[in-house]
Amino acid sequence: MKTLKTIIRIIFLLTMGFFLGIEVMIGIFRRHNNQFDRASSPGSQKVETLIRAIDRKYVDIVDMDSIMDRVLPTILEELDPHSAYYPAEETQESNDELHGSFSGIGIQFSVQDDTVRVNSVIHGGPSEKVGVLAGDRIVLINDSLFAGKKIPSNEIVKNLKGPKGSTVKISVMRNGEPNLVDFTIERGDIPVKSVDAAYMISPEEGIGYIMINKFGETTFSEMLTSLADLSSKGMKKLIIDLRSNTGGYLGAAIQMANQFLPKNDLIVYTQGAHNPIARQYADGHGHYTGIPLVVMIDESTASAAEIFTGAIQDNDRGTVVGRRSFGKGLVQEPIDFPDGSSIRITIARYYTPSGRCIQKPYGESDEDYAMDILKRYEHGEFFSADSIKQNEDEVFKTKGGRTVYGGGGITPDIFVAQDTTGYSEYYANVVRKSLINKFSFKYVDSNRAALSKLKTYKEVEEYLDSDNVMRRFYDYAAGNGVKRDSRLTLPARRQMRTALYGNIIYDALDMQDYISFINLTDPTVTKAIEVLK
């Protein structure tokens, strides 16, 4: 009987919560869309009556904000996996990423051994102006201790970020300084780049390379700048790397595709129950409509990145290389609340030019949906194109008559398996203990004067070879409980070297040098270059 009462109480609370949430959402949509008619919804009138009754008659004072924070996510979860509620802090972080800048002090940091270590200082940012250096350890933030205890990274970010023009005081421990060094930093706008790397990957063949990590407000302008720079260096062919690009703004993907497609080629169309079909075509003003093109994707390529890829593939404009993409074919619209929180609600599906929606099935539960990538891995899809499960009920044709499939991401034209030849138990153990990251930071910190004189990843690579860094790392790992395995194969040793050197190059130089070095042994990049050659 006690259990039955508990179940009835839960059902009642969930039901009340559901209708409370529905009412709030109805109110939101009424403010955003005047077509809602209060009189046409008897159900909403009942909810309003319930809300008033609780507000005027309920025995206790009800914290409606707290109820809504619990109810809204539950309601949205019933719709689809991508309609969601975001608290104010998460909303701000998401907006910062896509808007292309945020207010902060201009450093990149990591937490190692309970210490906040400055990995790099953003050029021209507030920290560089006052003299903060890579390698500094932040001990105090506004006189509060931030060392020697476990502090989440988001708590550190929360204390370092703030409104433009506000100040924050940090005290750092620096090599060679007996006392803490104090800095008062005025926060300023810190750019968030969409283009991680843009360089001539094969100058002799005229092949340029661009890696884009998201589709935000500044992505298109960053891409145009990068393309112009590469063109001045002799670019005749292009690789666009969208691996691990989780998407962003639909408009940015459309702008970008427009640069590569001839006039009147369909880029994408969207349609929803309350959103009539809307088609987007290339306007013919793109400057790169004839350049040979390869787009690289993987299982983390999603949303707007898939829109761009689908436009290129369905128009037979370029070659898609890599592994099957994530499969997100839904368009979300943000609706902001006065307290800074927000919801992202799905308003339409998008369709590639051939007419396919690449949204993968939702599955029986949110867990099924979230575990889809793992299931692909276990099924063998990362290692064999024959293991890819195509939806035979959704067959479409590209502009040139090639067969493509909907209902589960974009399958590349040329499949490249995940490279496991360098896997070893030794590598897994050093990664598990974060020994590569820890050693890299310590090494760069101890050799910063020498490394600061080096300007390219090739120079750093030569320096590391001459300093026997691999032997130093093996000794360091052994001292931390991971003894070197004498049976390591040549591919395993190469993977260890690539991972270690790459981390040091990133700490000593920047992201583009890191990517340039990693790409030297990346099989997907190698295949993309072969295609263009």
Strand partners, 116: 111, 138
pLDDT at 6: 37
Question: Token pair for residue 424?
Answer: 């070893």
Q: Report which DSSP code applies to 280.
A: E
Query: What digits encode the pLDDT tens for the residues 210-261?
Result: 999 999 999 999 999 999 999 999 999 999 999 999 999 999 999 999 999 9
Helix (H) or strand (E) holding 192: none
Q: Give the E-state strand segments of 15-136 in sequence order.
A: 84-86, 101-104, 107-112, 115-121
Please state which CATH number belongs to domain 101-191.
2.30.42.10
Element holding 139 (H helix, E strand): strand 137-141
Burial 471-491 (b: 16+ CB within 10 A, else e): eebbebbeeeebeeeeebeee
| Equal CATH topology for 101-191 and 195-415 | no
- Report the C-alpha dihedral over residues 42, 47, 48, 53, rounded to 10 degrees: 130
pTM of the full structure: 0.85
Contact 43, 23 (CB under 8 A): no
Residue with tokens 């590469």: 230
Q: CB under 8 Å to 19, separation ≥6 — which residues?
A: 46, 47, 50
Q: What is the pLDDT of residue 9?
A: 39
Query: In this predicted model, what pLDDT tens digit does every residue of 423-453 receive, in sequence order?
Result: 899 999 999 998 998 999 889 989 988 999 9
Q: What is the pLDDT of residues 148-161, one digit of tens each?
A: 777 777 788 888 88
Q: Report the candidate in 308, 214, 303 with the shortest Cα–Cα distance to residue 268.
A: 308
Type of residue found at 53? A
- pLDDT computed for residue 23 by the predictor: 40
Q: What is the DSSP letter of 383?
A: T
Whether pLDDT at 85 is above 50? yes
The CB-based long-range contact list for 475-483 (8 Å cut-off, 24+ gap) reads 476/435, 476/439, 477/430, 477/435, 477/439, 480/433, 480/435, 481/433, 482/426, 482/429, 482/430, 482/433, 482/435
pLDDT for the residue 19: 38
Which CATH superfamily is 195-415 part of? 2-enoyl-CoA Hydratase; Chain A, domain 1 (3.90.226.10)
pLDDT-based confidence at residue 3 (cuts at 50, 70, 90): very low
Residue ranges of the domains in the chain? Answer: 2-78, 101-191, 195-415, 425-532
Decide which of 41 and 234 is more confident: 234
Q: For 116-130, 268-282, 502-516, which range has the lowest pLDDT when averaged over its residues?
A: 116-130
Q: What is the pLDDT of residues 369-413, one digit of tens each?
A: 888 999 898 889 999 998 998 889 999 999 999 999 998 999 999
Percent of the chain with pLDDT over 70: 91
The answer to whether residues 381 and 296 touch, using CB atoms and an 8 Å cutoff, is no
- Report, as an integer, the average pLDDT of 314-335: 95
Those residues whose C-beta lies under 8 Å from the C-beta of residue 406, and which sit 6 or more positions away, are 355, 356, 357, 358, 391, 394, 396
User: What residues contact 88, with CB distance under 8 A and at least 6 apart?
Assistant: 339, 340, 341
Please report the pLDDT score of residue 346 as a whole number. 93
